[in-house]
Amino acid sequence: MTITEEATPPSPPSPGPTAAHAIDLVKTYGKDDAAVHALAGVNVEFRRGQFTAVMGPSGSGKSTLMHCMAGLDTPTSGHAYVGDQDIGLLDDAGLTQLRRDRIGFVFQSFNLVPTLTARENITLPSDLAGKKVDQAWFDFLVGQLGIGDRLSHRPQEMSGGQQQRAACARALIGRPDLIFADEPTGNLDSNSSAEMLGFLRRSVTEFNQSIVMVTHDPRGAAFADRVVFLADGKVVGELASPTADAVLEHMKQLGT
Partner 1 sequence: MWKVTIKGLLAHKLRLVLTAIAIVLGVTFISGTFVLTDTLHNTFTTLFGHIYQNIDFEVRGKAAFTNNAPGGGGGAVRKPIDESILSALRQVPGVFYAQGTVSGYAQFIAPDGKAITTGGAPTLGLSFDPNPQLSSLHLAQGKAPTTPSDVVMDEGTARKYHFDVGEHVRILLQGPTQTFTITGLVRFGTADNLAGATLAAFDLPTAQRLFGESGRFDAIDILAAPGADKAGVEHAIARTLPPGVEVVTGQTVANEQADTINQALSFFSTALLVFAFISLFVGGFTIFNTFSIIVGQRTRELALLRIVGASRRQVFRSVLVEAAILGLVASLIGLGLGVLAALGLEALLKGFGITLPSGPLVFEARTVFAAIVVGLGVTVISAISPARRAVRIPPVAALVDYRGEQGESSRRRIVIGTIIAVLGIAALALGLTKPAIQLVGLGALAVFIGIGMLAPTVARPMASALGRPLARVFRISGKLGRENSMRSPRRTAQTASALMVGLALVSTITVFGASLSKSATSSVDNAVSADYIVSNTDNNANGFSNSVAVAASRVPGVAATSTIYSGEFEFRHSLSTMTALSPEHLADTVILRMQAGTGAPALSARELLIDTTTANSDHLSVGSVAPVKFAETGTSTIRIGGIFKPNALLGSFLVGDGFFLSHFNAPLPVAVLLSTANGTTDITKAVTDGLKAYPNLKIQTRAQFEKSQQAQVNQLLGLVYALLALAVVIALIGIVNTLMLSVFERTHEIGLLRAVGMKRRQVRAMIRSEAVILSLFGAIIGVVVGTALGTAFAASLKQQGITDIVIPFPSLVLFLVIAALLGLGAATWPARRAARLDVLAAIAAD
Which residues of the chain form contacts with partner 1 (CB under 8 A)?
A: 63, 67, 72-73, 92-93, 96-97, 99-101, 105, 107, 109-116, 120, 124-125, 127-129, 170, 182
Task: Beginning with the edge strand found earlier in the chain, give each strand of the sheet holding 178-182 in spatial order.
Answer: 103-106, 178-182, 211-214, 51-55, 226-231, 234-240
CB of 199 to partner 1, least distance (A): 19
Q: Select 106 or 247, whichever has its Cβ closest to partner 1.
A: 106
Q: Give the separation between CA 234 and CA 162, rounded to whole angstroms.
A: 35
CB of 123 to partner 1, least distance (A): 9
Contacts of 143 (CB under 8 A, 6+ apart): none
User: Which three-class secondary structure state does DSSP give residue 29?
Assistant: strand
CB of 74 to partner 1, least distance (A): 9
Q: Select 67 or 165, whichever has its Cβ closest to partner 1.
A: 67
Q: Are 227 and 55 in contact (CB under 8 A)?
A: yes
Q: Select 127 or 195, whichever has its Cβ closest to partner 1.
A: 127
Q: Select 127 or 206, whichever has its Cβ closest to partner 1.
A: 127
CB of 91 to partner 1, least distance (A): 10
Q: Are 228 and 52 in contact (CB under 8 A)?
A: yes
Q: Select 183 or 217, whichever has its Cβ closest to partner 1.
A: 183
CB of 170 to partner 1, least distance (A): 7
For 23, how many CA atoms within 13 A lie in the half-sphere containing its CB? 9
